[in-house]
Amino acid sequence: MRKSLPAIGLNHDAIFAQMTAMTAHDADWRRGRIPLYVFKGNETVGEIGRDAFVRFFNENGLGGKRAFLGLKKMEDEVLEIGMTLFRAPGDAAGYFTTGGSESIIVAVKACRDFARKRRGNPRLRGNLVMPYSAHPAFTKAAMLMDLETRRVPVATDYRADIAAMEQAIDGDTLMLVGSAPCFPYGTIDPITELGELAQRRDLWLHVDACVGGYIAPFAAKAGYAIPEFDFSIPGVMSLSADLHKFGFCPKPASTIFYRSADAAGFQPFDVDDWPGGRFTTATIAGTRPGGAIAGAWATLHAMGEEGYVNTAGQIMEVARAYRRDVEASGLQVIGEPDLSILAFTSREVDMHAVSEGMARRGWVPGVVRQPFGLHLMLSMLHAPAREDYIRDLRSALDEARTSGIHRVGTDASY
């Protein structure tokens, strides 16, 4: 039977009891059993972000200019912090969005409209040239705007293949994409070379730093060798970075930045032909949760530079420890991951079977394909879970080795 509204509203306790029951069989993210979807820096800061979110629960980012001036100030400061972090020029501009997907979709829209104007063709559709490892959000953007996507196989090091990407460019190419890092392999594409290619071919380069943006600069400051990926590289026109990933801010929160105010000016939607008056919004979302903006401002201020650098260092150590144990279990890490995303495979054991074995042992197995392997995106949630993970991984490996089951049919899904 289809559910309908309860005839009379339930009380607080009844509601929470039902929700607790409904989620009783959810995966246990608090104990690090999920290698994606949820992030942790530290307990105290998590609480400050949550408190700020709840305090501004009712405010609406849409009303920032006319009603919620304080919220607007917080939003502007969050964006300034991001522009400083990514070494954007003085003339740069950015926007606060609901997530990496929205940041990418609006960047593609800005790039398309920029190209339409510059090339004097208001109907230009064009194509996006990206490594095969780029996030599906670029394909979503292309679907929405009827653009063509050209996904180019990655090089043997699982990073963008510059020569192959150049081959894919033609007169209708609008954008080149590089990831810092890409989600599947955790590798940072050669952004400096992509920047040179973009300049040589007079194209817009978007850097997708959704997952890496708020950890990579701090990992570098903590002493790790991290390839360059930001606006200090000529040719980078826009950069997306998600606060709700390794910025540890409450969801939904992401940022999108442009090298110049002129480029940023192609993002907003300016609508005037309706009875409600001129409606100008930079984002796809109209109403936006005030809590996300306040939560981000509070989290950035609670962490501070020192907090992010220390946490990045700790997370890099967690990733190193996982990598060491994974390799000691006879598995091969795919490529050379730059941050705390790690994918690994096996030359002898069917990783589909290992993945199913991990699921049976209470883990949500993150997976990757080409080659098929397990995938981890590690934060402080996973530090205490490492020994259990490796123990279960070894037992799933033994089981897969002895059972000889092949291709049990799991495919990769996000």
Ligand X SMILES: *Cc1c(COP(=O)(O)O)cnc(C)c1O
Residues that bind ligand X (CB under 6 A): 99-101, 104, 135, 137, 179, 182-183, 208, 210-211, 242, 254
* Cβ proximity to ligand X, 194 vs 353, nearer residue: 194
Smallest distance, Å, CB 134 to ligand X? 8
Provide, for the chain, the percentages of residues in helix, strand and coil under a 3-state DSSP scheme, each rounded to the nearest 5.
40, 15, 45
Quote the CA–CA distance of 359 and 355 in Å, as a whole number: 6
Q: How far apart are CB 272 and ligand X at their closest, in Å? A: 30
Tokens of 65: 């200019």
Indicate the residue among 99 and 289 with the shorter CB distance to ligand X.
Answer: 99
Nearer to ligand X, 183 or 389 (CB): 183
Strands 127-131 and 93-97: unpaired
CB of 183 to ligand X, least distance (A): 4
CB closer to ligand X out of 59 and 189: 189
Nearest residue to ligand X, scored by beta-carbon proximity: 100
Cβ proximity to ligand X: between 75 and 242 the closer is: 242
DSSP string across 291-346: HHHHHHHHHHHHHHHHHHHHHHHHHHHHHHHHHHHHHHTT-EESS--SSSEEEEE-
The residue among 328, 130, 92 whose CA lies nearest residue 231 is 92
Give least dist CB 312 to ligand X, A.
Answer: 16
Cα 41 to Cα 39: distance, rounded to the nearest angstrom: 7
Q: Which CB sits closer to ligand X, 99 or 373?
A: 99
**366 bridge partner residues:** 375
Give min distance, CB of 216 to ligand X, in A: 12
Q: Residue type for 74, please?
A: M
Least CB distance to ligand X at residue 211 (A): 3
Among candidate residues 243, 135, 237, the one with its CA nearest the CA of residue 181: 135
User: Taking the complex as a whole, how short is the minimal distance between the CB of residue 249 and ligand X, in angstroms?
Assistant: 11
Which one, 215 or 397, has the nearer CB to ligand X?
A: 215
191 closest CA partner among 213, 170, 169? 213
Distance CA 88, CA 142 (A): 26
Cα end-to-end distance, the chain, whole Å: 31
